Chains A and B, each alone.
Chain A
Amino acid sequence: MKKTWAAWPYVFWMVIFTVIPLFLLLYFSFTVKDGSTVAFSFANFQRLFEPVYFKVLFRSLVLAGISTFFCLFLGYPVAFILAGRSFRRKNTMILLLVLPMWMNFLLRTYAWLTLLERKGLINTVLVHLGLQPLNLLYNDFAVTLGMVYNFIPFMILPIYSVMSKIDRSLVEAAEDLGANPLAVFWRVTFPLSLPGVLSGITMVFMPAVTTFVISRLLGGGQYTLIGNLIEQQFLTVGDWNFGSAISVLMMLIILVSMAFTSRYEKEQEGSGLW
């Protein structure tokens, strides 16, 4: 017996909140408004290739890439330690990791403002120690820091989840065959944790590319990433058509990167977070 009617609310929901907005986005991106007439056009997409926007896109990708790298670099060891069987306070640690995520995203990012400000906590301490205050805010450093801080749980959790599922007997088998702890890691644990790494990279890179709050708050008003550009087009400039075109481009980038990772995951036959 198929209760197809049970799916209807979801279909309804999807249509209203996903399908229709998507079509609207596509519609806006392929049209230009000239007074009261609307015409089909590729002009919005052509504009994307202007050097200004290209530079913004490039910078967004680079910053997101750097942030993802640092999340991986810092998050992997954490996940490794958490998944170790000798680590006792596992659940407490995971709770501590997840806890900040319960707080408002904006609030968390604002908190960094007061820390990094010219007269913020860090610089006050530096001055008291007789050092020069540092320029910590409104630069690449601040934005990267904000991204790493906000997104690192999304790196740690999938890696942890994959690592803790690695069969203990595989590690024992490697030891049995003469592998010292370092060799066990490079030859067994690391390759088997790759699906988690991949999930983590996807989950960090995607929001990092599109974020506009972090770059706005910690990067200052002048600091434009692709997310800010979209926001500007919709809220400040009022050019929904161009804003839609940028969004469509973003979606394409994300789709392509997801296609790559999901293909890789299938080859690995591992399980990511989804």
Chain B
Amino acid sequence: MIRLVNISKQFDGTEAVKNINLHISKNEFLTMLGPSGCGKTTTLRMIGGFEYPTTGEIIFDGVNINALPPYKRKVNTVFQKYALFPHLNVYDNIAFGLHIKKVEKKTIDEKVGRMLELVSLSGYERRSVYSLSGGQQQRIAIARALINEPEVLLLDEPLGALDLKLRKDMQLELKAMQKQLGITFIYVTHDQEEALTMSDTVVVMNRGRIQQTGTPEAIYNEPINAFVAGFIGESNIVEGIMHGDFHVEFAGKHVECSDQGFAAQEVVDVVIRPEDLKMVEPADGLFTGVVKSVTFKGVHYEMIVAAHGIDWMIHSTRMRPAGMNVGLKVVPFDIHIMKKVMEE
């Protein structure tokens, strides 16, 4: 439905987005995920029409829309800080798009009513937007965008300003809405959990480039490089050397692993998820080390174990007290070998 072909964007000489290629299909919930300044918002704004790409093409249903101004595009946006019109009440905010299109008053009434129902704010028509809480303003912003029946809805960190509980509720609501309405959602966030929870497809970005595109499961279980692994969930990332297929050396140990196809002696990143490191008796461990600190995290404990000059992060439901000697073990399948990310 939307294709980005070799898109780049420069702002006064600095490149915010570098050669992005992306395909977004109909009814997809696609999330662009990355740290601030990674180019995800710029990419979204180019789809919305607020920025024009320096090079490359934006194709919408087969047509190049590079130079089309925002008001001619069949997409609507939910802005980061909602951008509700302060001089209009809730009704007029939601009806804004329909007023522009000169829709009949009766139809507008009907549609605004239905939208307010959708975002469970019926009866708020005459309220000033100032009198609403952050979560309510958020819903109005969503209603204002959805009433135009866009084919694509762009959401720019829409839940960023909400507290944790509300954010979780809204995540589920948004996902439900997207399924119910059958609209393509393009969602921008820096919150990896949000991305994993809601998306059909996650696009991980860093420094203006797409690092990896895939389902949430694929991104989490098979991160393509150390950046993705570090950004999605928590990871222990150490440097290692491949001595051949299924044979890696890291932290001074030669270990069997499940990866192959690297050059001999290639320097790689070794990624191990904190929950994949098991604590055993010192004698049984691959490494031995000392527990440095213990933090209670609710479902599990987070422990830092110093071994072979590296601080390993371990998530476990069994607590070992600080100062205790432990052994660390990991099965070959859980050792992820990644090519070094090229720094530029």
Contact = CB atoms under 8 A, between A and B. Distances in A.
B333 interface: no
A92 interface: no
B76 interface: yes
B123 interface: no
B69 A175 contact: yes
Contacts of B145: 176-177
A236 interface: no
A69 to B, nearest CB: 24
A188 B81 CA distance: 17
Nearest to B96: A177
Interface in B70-129: 70-71, 75-77, 79-81, 83-87, 96-97, 99-101
B123 to A, nearest CB: 23
Contacts of A269: 86, 130
A188 B92 CA distance: 12
Q: Tell which of B75, B79, B144, B148 has the most Cβ of chain A within 10 Å.
A: B79
B85 A188 contact: yes
Interface of A: 167, 169-170, 172-180, 183, 187-188, 191-192, 268-269
A183 B86 contact: no
A192 B79 contact: no
A191 B87 CA distance: 7
B84 to A, nearest CB: 8
Nearest to A173: B83
Nearest to B95: A177
A74 B81 CA distance: 34
A179 B100 contact: yes
Nearest to A180: B71
Interface residues of B, number: 26
A236 to B, nearest CB: 50
Given A176-B77, A178-B71, A170 B85 contact: yes
Contacts, number: 67
Give chain A's interface secondary structure class: helix
B240 interface: no
Contact of B71 (A175, A192, A268): A175
B50 interface: yes
Contact of A175 (B70, B99, B148): B70
Interface in B193-224: none
Interface string B43-87: 000001110000000000000000001110001110111011111
A165 to B, nearest CB: 12
Given A169-B79, A178-B101, A192 B148 contact: no
A169 B86 CA distance: 12
Nearest to A183: B100
A175 B71 CA distance: 5
Given A169-B79, A178-B71, A179-B71, 16 more contacts: A167-B81, A172-B48, A172-B50, A172-B83, A173-B79, A175-B49, A175-B50, A176-B70, A177-B148, A178-B101, A179-B100, A180-B69, A180-B71, A183-B71, A187-B96, A191-B87
B331 to A, nearest CB: 50
A175 B79 CA distance: 12
A168 B108 CA distance: 27
Contacts of A175: 49-50, 69-71
Contacts of B97: 177-178
Given A169-B81, A172-B70, A269-B130, A178 B87 contact: no
B169 to A, nearest CB: 24
14 contacts: A170-B86, A172-B48, A173-B85, A174-B96, A176-B50, A177-B76, A177-B144, A177-B148, A178-B101, A179-B96, A183-B71, A188-B85, A192-B87, A268-B87
A213 B243 CA distance: 94
B83 A169 contact: yes
A188 B48 CA distance: 19
A51 B197 CA distance: 80
